[in-house]
Amino acid sequence: MEPREGDELGSGEPPGGARARGTMAAKTGLKMGANYARYLARRATGTEKDEARKTLHTENAEDLFEDLSKLRGTALKMAQGLSMEPGFLPEQFSQILAKAQYEVPSMGGILVRRLVTQAFGKPPEQVFASFSDQAIAAASLGQVHRATTHDGRDVVVKVQYPNVRESIDSDLRLVRGIAGRFVDSKSLDPYLEEVRLHMMEETDYVHEGRNIEVFAERFAGSDVVTPRWVEEYTTERVLTMTYVDGLHLKEFLATNPSQELRSHFGQVLWDTVHQQIAADHLTVHADAHPGNFLFREDGKLGLLDYGCVKQFPRSFRDALIDLYRARMSGDKAKQEVALTELEVLKPEIQGDERTYLLEILDLMGGVIESLYREDEYDFGSGELLAEFQSIIPKLTGREAFKYRRPVGSHHFVFVNRLLAGMISILSQLGARLDTRYSRSCLDRVETSIR
């Protein structure tokens, strides 16, 4: 996988000021509006109308990805997340925004060298025994280069894009303004603050290095392989870690792997996520997008990028497991207790709004429950995506717009991110899973209700 280079050597620096980023976002909106105007002008009918709508979605998605790639940072990170939400976006948007996981244009060599020099006070060829100007991967917050240390270690060096940390607040203000057209913007503040705090952590590469070491110890002896942090070659905005080989999901699937191998890797991912959820440390690797996983010849799963790590309060984690257990046992009363603890069923939600919310929760709960009901689940059947898509009209229709406020604890921001990413990867693998171990992980946790 080769990231696309900038237009010229040394290009690729994203705009840093709030005004410049806001102007670019506004231009994107104008371009998408012009696409929509052309779509209306065609006045197509029947099959032609369907094709015209697909063309509209493709044009808008391409324009959006192009400009988000220039902004990078929080804006592109959110596009990355949206691409993994099952069934919530038109297919054309999901496919094109998925490029945020693999195909972000990389910074040119001059800019990379300048950033490394600023970080260490000397150029990369002096810091390292060898350093490649060509990025091997480029994503939303930074890009990765191969290098070797003076003591002979094979490493990768992640260089953060300029202005990423400085643009977090301005990007979130843009998001708040856009989302305020659809929901009560004040009610978004706890969720946006959760994103802001974790984005600040993600842009601190020393913090990520410490996370790498914690998870390396936790996964030692398992089927998960992690890099190791090289602390002496790390600063807040340049991170060095040992090299882990393997294929990304897109490359792995291109090798036409057997069903057995696809299911093996899916099982490792599924079981690893449940081990983390059930563990006493209450901490999970929450950035489950395909670019962070490597499928290795030794059958082990490489797990990269430890910037987005979420630690849950015990009460929140326990309430999630209580909700799962109450759903599996069909205990409606305990479901409502857990949903109240999770701040989903708030006291002020009454009448028709409560009825509507309980209906949505029952539908969503049924989809999640289906993953655990039998001893085996086949992600290749397509049933899961169809079930999610059947709920979409309820989530986006007139009744949903009537109740314009998000519900649930702000901790759900990263639960949803982890769940959506895991389901996306398992669905692409078409994995057939044994669910007995994951159920045992959740069943053995001691919680407040039991």
How far apart, in whole angstroms, are the C-alpha atoms of residue 294 and residue 302? 4
How far apart, in whole angstroms, are the C-alpha atoms of residue 193 and residue 278? 26
* 412-429 vs 383-396: helix crossing angle, rounded to 10: 140
Alpha helix ranges (H) inside 248-382:
249-254, 259-278, 314-329, 332-341, 351-370
Q: Name the CA radius of gyration of the chain, rounded.
A: 23
Model confidence over 242-271: pLDDT tens digits?
A: 999 999 999 999 999 999 999 999 999 999
How far apart, in whole angstroms, are the C-alpha atoms of residue 294 and residue 265? 10
Q: Which of 69-78, 89-98, 232-241, 289-298 has the lowest mean pLDDT?
A: 89-98
Return the pLDDT at 7. 38
User: Taking a C-beta distance cutoff of 8 angstroms, is the pair 85, 30 a contact?
Assistant: no
pTM of this prediction? 0.82
> Taking 90 as the threshold, does the pLDDT of residue 323 lie above it?
yes
Going by pLDDT thresholds of 50, 70 and 90, the confidence category of residue 211 is very high
Return the pLDDT at 5. 45
Return the pLDDT at 343. 94
Per the prediction, the chain carries an average pLDDT of: 83
- At 365, which amino acid appears? G
In sign, the C-alpha dihedral spanning 209, 137, 287, 162 is positive
Alpha helix ranges (H) inside 104-245:
109-120, 124-127, 168-179, 189-202, 205-219
How far apart, in whole angstroms, are the C-alpha atoms of residue 98 and residue 420? 13
Mean pLDDT of 200-225: 97
Return the pLDDT at 23. 60
* Exposure string over 178-194, b if 16+ CB within 10 A, otherwise e: ebeeeeebeebeebbeb
Structural domain boundaries in the chain: 1-243, 245-450
Return the pLDDT at 49. 64
Model confidence over 3-50: pLDDT tens digits?
A: 444 433 344 565 555 566 556 555 655 455 555 555 556 655 555 666
Return the pLDDT at 1. 41
User: Taking a C-beta distance cutoff of 8 angstroms, is the pair 323, 246 a contact?
Assistant: no
Structure token pair of residue 31:
């371009």
Task: Provide the 10 A C-beta neighbour count for residue 377.
Answer: 22
> Taking 60 as the threshold, does the pLDDT of residue 357 lie above it?
yes
Going by pLDDT thresholds of 50, 70 and 90, the confidence category of residue 450 is low
Kindly state the percentage of the chain with pLDDT values over 90: 54
